[in-house]
Amino acid sequence: MEREERDPDRLAALFRLDHLAARMRRNDENLLVLAGGQARRKPGVGMSLDALVLAALSEIEQYQRIRVEVDSTVRVGGQATGDLVHLLAELFDNAAAFSPPDSPVRVLSTAHGGGVTIEISDEGIGLSPVALTEANQLLGTPPDLNLDSSERMGLVVVSHLAARHRVRVQLRSGHAGTSAYVRVPDDLLIDEGALA
């Protein structure tokens, strides 16, 4: 529908509806993750890192603010793509929500011997040392579902999704905002040489 629409106002409305539907689906999936279930996303074929990031961007409202510079030659195996798209969408959404609306959120990647690290940096007010420690503890050890989980639902969901695939997520607070580092281990990546 969006490809065929020529009226800019109607096209904008279609995009808003599309993002609303994606957010509603992600909220449903968040509840499934918190209840210990699997999201309905089917594992797909491998995806390039840039395609994975774009898929995550399509699920957030403020996607225009995200500036992406990731390595398109890195490919993630199909077993993890659905959960990684969901995990990144949660972190992108969080970065956009807790930073000034006119500031960019930057997404970079760095390949290393043990996999690839995706860095998501915002220009928000950052976290206090206590809040940063608590958030990193939550990200490192998925908590059981309780009433406190709803307050930090995004980070709790990220923690559970990361644990499924041995992905490590850590937050750092700097002089200008907060950065999330998502370390995707080598065994979740596809060796392009093996495909040739």
Amino acid at the residue 115: G
**How confident is the model over 60-112, as pLDDT tens digits?**
889 899 999 999 999 999 888 989 999 999 999 999 999 999 999 999 999 99
pLDDT of 195 above 50? no
Domain ranges for the chain, please list them: 8-195
Q: Residue 104: its pLDDT value, please? A: 96
**How confident is the model over 148-167, as pLDDT tens digits?**
555 677 898 899 999 999 99
Helix (H) or strand (E) holding 18, with range, is: helix 8-34
pLDDT over 70 percentage in the chain: 74
**Euclidean distance between CA atoms 55 and 110, whole angstroms:** 19
Question: For all residues of the chain together, what is the average pLDDT?
Answer: 84
Helix (H) or strand (E) holding 140, with range, is: helix 129-140
Q: What's the rounded mean pLDDT across residues 123-136?
A: 93
**How confident is the model over 132-144, as pLDDT tens digits?**
999 999 999 988 7
Question: Of residues 165 and 42, which shows the higher confidence score?
Answer: 165
Q: Residue 75: its pLDDT value, please? A: 94
Q: Residue 194: its pLDDT value, please? A: 46
Quote the DSSP letter at residue 60. Answer: S
Fold of 8-195: Heat Shock Protein 90 (3.30.565)
Q: Residue 196: its pLDDT value, please? A: 39
